[in-house]
Amino acid sequence: MIDCVGHPHSLALFWSEALGRPIQGAAEGCFIDLHEGESGLSLFFQKSSAPQQTKGRLHLHLNPVEGTLAGEVERLARLGATVVSSHARGSDLGWVVLADPEGNEFCVDSSDAEVSAFQDRYLSEG
């Protein structure tokens, strides 16, 4: 569940685009199924009157299935995310901390292809 100080549907729209999953439900409370079928895994967005006062103890790590870390960060920034900090070694390995439009932090990690390419380079140099 994600509490939204702003409009729940607006934040759900950001996450819908970020995760490539459709929004379901009403404007007061909507959700995004994270998996096709009957998995029951979903993110629920609801209106909250109290803003979060402290940093959250939980955040998501996203791993691009296609593309690169840098490309995914650029795509999410176009959707409204802001970069909080970068922990990348060059443009192809590491992770970047971002915040969604309401300030909820999440990370984007290098893709599996980028990690494999780095490992191959490292092993060939050794």
Grouping H, G, I as helix, E, B as strand and the rest as coil, residue 31 is strand
CATH superfamily of 59-126: 2,3-Dihydroxybiphenyl 1,2-Dioxygenase, domain 1 (3.10.180.10)
Tens-digit pLDDT profile for residues 24-65: 887 667 888 877 766 567 888 888 877 666 666 567 888 888
pLDDT: which is higher, 102 or 56:
102
126 pLDDT higher than 70: no
pLDDT (mean) for 83-103: 87
Tens-digit pLDDT profile for residues 66-91: 889 999 999 999 999 999 999 977 66
Q: From CA 121, how far away is CA 58, in angstroms rounded? A: 33
Q: Note the pLDDT of residue 54.
A: 65
The pTM is what? 0.79
Strands (E), 8-62: 23-25, 29-33, 42-47, 61-62
Grouping H, G, I as helix, E, B as strand and the rest as coil, residue 49 is coil
Cα dist from 103 to 11, 81, 108, 123, 126, whole Å = 10, 8, 15, 39, 42
Rg of the chain's alpha carbons, rounded to an integer? 16
Q: Which sequence spans correspond to the domains of the chain?
A: 1-49, 59-126
pLDDT: which is higher, 92 or 126:
92
Give the DSSP H/E element, type plus range, for residue 76. helix 69-79
pLDDT (mean) for 93-104: 91
